Amino acid sequence: MTAANGSGWRDDLRRWIGARGSRVHLMGAGGIGMAGVARLLAARGLRVDGCDAGAPRTLDWLRSCGISAVTGHDPAHLTGADWAVFSPALAPDHPERRAAEALGIPLYRRGQVLPVLAERWRTLAVAGSHGKTTTASMAAHLLRSCGVDASWCIGGELPPDGAPAGAGTSDWLVIEADESDGTLSNYAPEIAVVTNIEFDHMEHFESRAGMVECFEAFARQARAVVAGADDPEAARLGRAVGGISFGFAEGAEYRGEVLEAGPGGTRFAVRTPDGRRREAWLRLTGRHNVLNALAALAACERQGGIDLDAACAALAGFRLPRRRFEQVAHARGIRVVADYAHHPSEIRSLVAAARQAGAGRIWAVFQPHRYTRTRALGAEFPPAFEAVAGVVLLPVYAASEPPMAGGTSEDLLEHFRGRGGAPAELARDLADAAARIEARWRAGDWILIIGAGDIEALGPLLAERLGAEP
Q: Choosing from 58, 96, 123, 132, which is the catalytic residue?
A: 132
Asked about 414 being catalytic, the answer comes back as no
438 as an active site residue: the answer is: no
Query: Among residues 58, 133, 183, 408, which one is catalytic?
Result: 133
The one catalytic residue among 157, 176, 253, 456: 176
79 is catalytic: no
Q: Which of 394, 366, 343, 350 is nearest to 179 (CA)?
A: 343
Q: At what angle do helices 208-220 and 232-240 cross, to 10 degrees?
A: 40
Active site residues: 132-133, 176
